[in-house]
């Protein structure tokens, strides 16, 4: 999943449901494959290796999805901050312009 897919292009709040569902499916697949291999291996050493690799893979997938969603929230916050900053600056320029117009018209009379 691309970083942009988690947040709908940065316009709306990031949704966690689709990434969570996809993450759950991928973790389930990893654990089922690891369990299948674990059941069909006779060696205790290989069973432990399969169990460790399966659990590490599942945790890695979960951490990757959490990272992608957190990046989407950071982008969302940055977008909101930029919009608020532009709005404040626009209001500030408008106030300055009005003050200049009032001071310019008041001094001419």
What Rg, from alpha-carbon coordinates, does the chain have? 27
Q: What 8-state DSSP symbol labels residue 16?
A: S
- CA 28: distance to chain centroid? 22
Domain extents in the chain: 11-108
13 CB contacts (<8 Å, ≥6 apart)?
A: 7, 76
18-60 pLDDT, tens per residue?
Answer: 999 999 999 999 999 999 998 888 888 999 999 999 999 999 9
At 106, the pLDDT band (50, 70, 90 cuts) reads low
């Amino acid at each position: 999943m691309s970083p942009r897919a988690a947040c709908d292009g940065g316009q709306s709040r990031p949704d966690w449901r689709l990434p969570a569902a996809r993450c759950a499916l991928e973790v389930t697949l990893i654990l089922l494959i690891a369990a299948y291999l674990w059941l069909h291996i006779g060696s205790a050493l290989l069973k432990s290796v399969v169990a460790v690799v399966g659990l590490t893979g599942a945790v890695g997938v979960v951490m990757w999805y959490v990272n992608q969603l957190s990046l989407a929230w950071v982008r969302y916050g940055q977008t909101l901050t930029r919009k608020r900053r532009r709005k404040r600056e626009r209001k500030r320029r408008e106030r300055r312009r009005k003050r200049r117009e009032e001071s310019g018209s008041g001094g001419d009379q």
